[in-house]
Structure 1
Amino acid sequence: MPTTGRSITERADNGRYVGLAPVRDGNPVPIRVAQVVGRMMGGGVEATVMNHYRHIDRSQVQFDFIVQTDSTMVPKDEIESLGGRVFYVPPYSNPVKYVNACRKLFQQIHPRIVHSHMNAVSVFTLMAAKQAGVPVRIAHSHSTSNPNEKAKTLVKNVLRPFSKVYPTHLAACGDYSARWLFGDQTVDQGKVKIIRNAIELDRFAFDEEARTRLRKEIEASDDIRVIGQVGRFSAQKNQLFSLDVLAELVKKNPRVLLVFLGVGDDMDKVKAKAHDLGLSDHVRFLGMRSDVNEWYSAFDVLLFPSLYEGLPLTAVEAQVSGLPLVVSDKVPKEADLIPSLVRRISLDAGIESWVSAFDAHESDASGRVSHVQEIAKRGYAIHLSAAELVHWYKKL
């Protein structure tokens, strides 16, 4: 179609984009932002990006999703129904191949902004974006690291010093993850944009009907304590440790179930350990669910023994529903939006310390109170966060 005005695809001699936002048939064309999310597996990072995508003003900003070919949970149909596009690149395990593929793709689709959500690995994505002449390059930190993941942490620590070389702008889900990747001085100078892991708060309010229905689905009577864990099966989420906690809980009271929501590379390993510990009757593996928001109402407590986190979306969702949490000391304290709901236990503490943290949490949900308004005031209402994100993109 013919265009008028100057297009973002015009280039100066140095290969950089020049000109104003494009106009087609007299109407402004949305700013296209390439959202680089790596391997899509239905995790919290992808959920945060998709939450914002569903609520942004897509007449002003449109997303393209850059995902790895080893992704398992790409909502391609939904993205395309909203006007977005999905492009595939090889995994970053081969950095040279990955950078070359990203550079060629950016040269092909001409994004005005590349927003990389790959933490320390964003160095590769944004190197390619700079080589392609993309004018706005955002590095977004969502997580940290853990010494127990030796190979992964080594890669992160090697790449961290380069985290500010290729981006033009910095972002993070919270203060802790911002400081981990970009450093205290950068954060203290106000150079990192905090973008909350915002959600549709009302969807996570406590729902008595959902509680009754879902507990019936897993054959959990009112006197059974249902513990939930939500997230991909990985070393970071520490589901193997969760089974150790469950084994001790069952010794004290066999009327307990542990419900896992999610999929991932370690799922078979966790299933095998549950079998070896004789816990098969006390564990439910429900995989990926579209009704995760309702399961917070069905749970009596959320178990969160992560080895490291940025600012976990699951913790926010659970607190909206008034669900108590037992979390590791590796979950940033800024995740304690309703402090009375959160019990912190060190991963170095004995199993008995974790078991005792559940003593106050019975299966009776009477008195559960939702916290929609309180958490909205902390910046986690998606409609407000999405509007702010559009404003930021337009300003950049």
Structure 2
Amino acid sequence: MHKPIHVAQIMGRMMGGGVEATIMNHYRFLDHDQIQFDFIAQDDSDNIPLEAISTAGGHVYTVPSYKNLPKYIEACEKLFKEIQPDIVHSNMNALSVFPLSAAKHAEIPIRIAHSHSTDNPNEFIKTTAKTLLRPFSKIYPTHLVACGSLSAEWLFGKTAVQSGNVHYIRNAIDLQRFVFNRVQRKNLRDSIGVVDGQFVVGQIGRFSAQKNQMLSIEIMQHLIQIIPDAVLVFLGIGDMMNAVKEKVANLGLERHVRFMGLRHDANSWYSAFDALLFPSLYEGLPLTVIEAQAAGLPIISSDHVTEEAFVNKKLITTVALDSSSRVWAQTLANTFSNTYRRTNIDHTTVLQEAGYEIRDSARDMQQWYQQIAA
């Protein structure tokens, strides 16, 4: 009997973020008789979808955090020798140098470095580490992958992109799951005590410096001066969550901010929101922005997000990241005062044509794995 191609996906610390969602989205739509994934996660992960992985026939293995680098590399190499995958596919951006060096020492023939992100000069320590590692990004992989040209150029350089040495895997989604739904809108808004006509701003993503939730709270402080009953809803977890909650309390904004934690019905929340706030310091190609566009949700985004993500430009308003929180608040208020009414208009066709339908993308991924493993 034909054995499926065995791919070890290196996930780092799993916290329910966009990178994990992208890989899991593809995994669900692969033919598991042809391609099978194992997931290598750090033992400090907060959200490993064990049931979804095991149901599809995959396995999860944990290794120490990369913060203890010698132990991390040693554990990866030992694991690769034990499970002998056909392909090691690392999703750790500049940090992929470490698991892929272990994979090379374990004599794994196909090693993929996948760039999902960029960097931000304001995160000095993180950016310095990434800058030091980037020159090594092409030493250990046999194949280079990115979600878009900006993230590809950032990690692998212009020459690799221009010479066609980078394969692209879009941050694709099941588009129909995100289509606007009036019933879901009412039920979710009722669940958080929001009435018809009240302005609900959403932000989805892990709580981290990159996602800039601290700025969101400052924006909210000004927004309620314009729209007094406005509400901000956070979906996600992360290391900075308590600090953000503390800021909300210090500013007396508890009545206007909801923390919903990690939700498995995030697709429905896009129907409940009136606008998506996306003030990220940097991004590769954010899944959340693609999902919001599928739902026809207006997006207020920082100008540090790649334009590649803006497929349906009618839904996008960009604000300079260094603009004041008052400017951000007024921009949000303008979205509301434009009396934008959520409708059942189809927003998915343009996204499918741009390569963001998961069934198409998973088929392409499967064919690519089969091609490089042949």
Residue of 57, 78, 85 corresponding to 2:52: 78
Q: Indicate the residue corresponding to 2:247 in structure 1.
A: 273
Displacement of 1:359 after TM fit? 2.9
Between the aligned residues of both structures, percent identity stands at 53
The alignment partner of 1:28 has SS state of: coil
Paired with 2:261 and 2:102, the residues of 1 have a C-alpha distance of 35
In 1, distance between residues paired with 2:252 and 2:53?
42
Other-structure match for 2:66: 92
Q: 1:118 aligns with which of 82, 92, 100?
A: 92
Match for residue 307 of structure 1 among 281, 298, 302: 281
Amino acid at match of 1:110: Q
Tell me if the contact between 1:321 and 1:369 (Cα under 8 Å) persists in the aligned partners.
Answer: no
Preserved CA contact (<8 Å) 2:42 2:62: yes
2:263 and 2:51 map into 1 onto residues whose CA distance is 17
Measured after TM superposition, the shift of residue 367 of structure 1 is: 4.0
- 1:381 corresponds to which residue? 357
Question: How far is the alpha carbon of 1:361 from its aligned partner?
Answer: 1.9
Q: Indicate the residue corresponding to 1:43 in structure 2.
A: 17
Q: Which residue of 1 aligns with 2:232?
A: 258
C-alpha distance 332-364 of structure 1, shift in aligned 2 (>3 A): closer
The letter for the 2-side match of 1:393 is: Y
Q: Calculate the aligned-residue CA RMSD, in Å.
A: 1.0
Q: Which residue of 2 aligns with 1:101?
A: 75
- In structure 1, the partner of 2:302 is 328
Tell me the distance in 2 between the aligned counterparts of 1:50 and 1:357: 34
Distance in 2 between residues matched to 1:226 and 1:238, nearest whole Å:
18
Distance 2:40 2:184 in 1: 35
SS at 1:387's partner residue? helix
Find the structure with the greater CA-based Rg.
1
> What is the CA–CA distance in structure 1 between the aligned matches of 2:222 and 2:85, rounded to whole Å?
53
Give the total of aligned pairs: 370
Query: CA distance change for structure 1 residues 87 and 366 in 2, over 3 Å: closer, same or farther?
Result: closer
Shift, 1:36, TM fit? 0.3
Counterpart Cα distance in 2 of 1:196 and 1:262: 22
Specify the code of the residue in structure 2 equivalent to 1:135: P
TM-score by length of 2: 0.97
**Structure 1 runs (4+) greater than 3 angstroms displaced:** none
Shift, 1:283, TM fit: 0.2
Q: Distance in 2 between matches of 1:62 and 1:178?
A: 25
Gaps of 5+ in 2: none
- Within 5 Å, give how 1:11-50 maps onto structure 2: 27-50=1-24
Counterpart in the other structure of 2:163? 189
Per-residue CA distance 1:124-179 (angstroms, 9 max, x = gap): 01000000000000000000111111111111011000000000000001111001
Question: Is the partner of 2:233 in helix, strand or coil?
Answer: strand
Richer in helix (by share): 2
Give 1:50's aligned amino acid: M
1:347 CA displacement? 1.1
One-letter code aligned to 2:40: I
Alpha-carbon distance, 1:365 to partner: 2.7
Structure 1 residue corresponding to 2:269, chosen from 295, 298, 315:
295
In 2, distance between residues paired with 1:294 and 1:360?
Answer: 24
1:223 CA drift (Å): 2.1
Retained in 1: the 8 A contact 2:118–2:154? yes
Give the distance between the partners of 2:304 and 2:344, measured in 1 at CA.
Answer: 26
Q: Residue 323 of structure 1 contacts residue 368 of structure 1 at CA under 8 Å; is this kept in 2?
A: no
Aligned residue identity for 1:244: E
Structure 1: state its 5+ residue gaps. 1-26
Q: What residue identity is the alignment partner of 2:176?
A: D
Partner residue of 1:23?
A: none
> What residue is the counterpart of 2:256 in the other structure?
282
The answer as to whether partners of 1:223 and 1:255 remain within 8 angstroms in 2 is no
Cα offset, 1:348, TM superposition? 1.1
Match among 306, 313, 318 for residue 339 of structure 1: 313
Which deviates more, 369-378 or 27-36? 369-378
Which residue is 1:177 aligned to? Answer: 151
- Counterpart contact for 1:320–1:375, Cα < 8 Å: yes
Aligned to 1:331, what secondary structure does the other structure show?
coil
